Amino acid sequence: MGLLTPSDLQAIGLTLRVAALTTLVLLLLGTPLAWWLARTRSWLKKPVGALVALPIVLPPTVLGFYLLVLMGPQGTVGQWTQALGLGLLPFSFTGLVVASVLYSLPFMVQPVQNAMEAMGTRPLEVAASLRASPVDSFFSVVLPLCRPGLVTGSIMAFAHTVGEFGVVLMVGGNIPGVTRVISVQIYDHVEAMEYGDAHRLAAVMLGFSFVVLLALQMYNGRQRKGAGP
């Protein structure tokens, strides 16, 4: 028998697809949200910031439960998707991505927001003096200057999505090839008392997590060194 079973490899492939798509969606949605949080003076900033950070402290099963209710047949989102002919999102790949986006949202938004706040207003003032439009300033000034935050957020969101369990189990269930991700596969091995298979797959996750954190540390170290005098 190989190191990993065919079902293990299938779970790994599915997990990587979910994590990659989730990270892409978070880049597209989380970056404008982070920019708004970094720049706004509205009283809504603190409530919205608290909502964004909620998945950090909220038990994953609680978030998964409410998503399951909302996206179910009687839920607001579920009725909307059915009316559009999209069917129901729970126990599907799409539902898994939606849940993952919400669960990993703070891991993308917060690093990007911190980078945008640290940038200050001076670069934008210089761009405005050169007659750059707000959109042009955002893409040619803000995003390049905030690249470390974008990279950090992307890595953390990807890694966090790979390791999630409670939310994906509540919303996606345990359907092979559709919603059975790595964390659920490990749970299945343990439940079946297949400790050898569980250990090998868990070791893969452990190694992945270490490599991700090491790469992030090295990247941040290079950024600090490059920003030095």
Helix and strand totals (H; E) in the chain = 12, 0
Residue 86 contacts by C-beta under 8 Å, 6 or more apart in sequence? Answer: none
pTM: 0.89
* pLDDT score for 86: 85
CA–CA separation, 175 and 209 (whole Å):
25
Burial 123-144 (b: 16+ CB within 10 A, else e): ebeebeeeebeeeebbeebbbe
Residue 1 pLDDT exceeds 60: no
Helix axes 182-191, 195-227, angle to 10 degrees: 150
Mean pLDDT of the chain: 90
Domains located in the chain, CATH noted: 28-224 (1.10.3720.10)
pLDDT digits over 116-174, tens only? 999 888 888 888 888 878 888 888 889 999 999 999 999 999 999 998 888 998 998 88
Cβ neighbors of 160 (< 8 A, separation 6 or more) are 103, 104, 107
- Count of residues in the chain: 229
- What are the Cα distances from residue 90, in Å, to 82, 156, 184? 12, 25, 16
The two three-digit tokens of residue 65, written as one number = 């439960």
pLDDT tens sequence across 72-105? 999 999 999 999 888 899 999 999 999 999 999 9
